[in-house]
Amino acid sequence: MEGKFDPKNAFRLHDERRKKLLPAEEILITLGLREGMNFIDVGCGSGYFTIPASKIVGKNGKVYAIDVQQEMLEILKQKGVPENVVTLLAKSDYDFPVEDETGDFTLCAFVLHENHDPIKFLEEVKRITKSKGKIVILEWKKQVEDWGPPYEDRVSQEEVLRYCNKVGLSVHDYGEINKSHYKVVCTK
């Protein structure tokens, strides 16, 4: 687990290949995001999932876009942040500026592999998610590819399942999203 995504490469987060493999709005709806929910995007980056989530939850819902890199939040803000989105700078990967039990649906999209202590990270994710709330982890498959993080930085689905069990999350669904990515869906 090497480090954080370089903001200079933020344009890659919205390229056509990614949009085709990861249609954000469709994925969020399929995973259960609904109107009126509180959605937390941990490691929101440039807002790939944040903006579609704001449309889905609507005016009666709220989106908390959290990142540890101010530069990434600035890129998101430049896109025009909808009224129901709050951008938050985290002090660290293990200290999010959100009250306990806030999120109905907490997303960790392609950030677990960037954490040096995935257990501590997931404990913080668990803290900010409501009791019976949904936690969705999206990650790169542990395979060699011509895009995404290097093989040695990727986390296997089996490792993520172990981490979730270790922090007391109930895993309800997991598996392939496409040829490059997988999901792990849990509740608190």
> Poorest-confidence range of 5-14, 84-93, 156-165, 174-183?
5-14
The answer to whether position 175 is within a domain reads: yes
Report pLDDT for 17: 72
Q: Which residues, at least 6 apart from 107, have a Cβ–Cβ distance to it below 8 Å?
A: 28, 39, 40, 41, 42, 49, 53, 136, 138
Burial (CB count within 10 angstroms: exposed 0-12, middle 13-18, buried 19+), residue 18: middle
The answer to whether position 158 is within a domain reads: yes
The answer to whether position 1 is within a domain reads: no
The answer to whether position 97 is within a domain reads: yes
Residue 47 is part of which domain span? Answer: 7-187
Report pLDDT for 18: 72
> How big is the chain by its Cα radius of gyration, in Å?
15
CATH code for position 170: 3.40.50.150
The answer to whether position 127 is within a domain reads: yes
The answer to whether position 145 is within a domain reads: yes
Query: Going edge to edge, which strands form the sheet with 129-140?
Result: 85-89, 62-67, 38-42, 103-109, 129-140, 181-187, 170-176
Q: How many domains does the chain have?
A: 1
What is the average pLDDT across 107-118?
A: 95
pTM: 0.92
The answer to whether position 43 is within a domain reads: yes
**Mind listing the pLDDT tens digit for each residue in 161-182?**
999 999 999 999 999 999 999 9
The answer to whether position 22 is within a domain reads: yes
**Mind listing the pLDDT tens digit for each residue in 30-66?**
999 999 999 999 999 999 999 999 999 999 999 999 9
**Mind listing the pLDDT tens digit for each residue in 115-125?**
999 999 999 99
What is the average pLDDT across 87-114?
A: 96
The dihedral sign for the CA sequence 17, 159, 50, 60: positive
CA 39 from centroid of its chain's CA atoms: 10
Give the angle 71-8-75 at the CA atoms, nearest 5°. 40
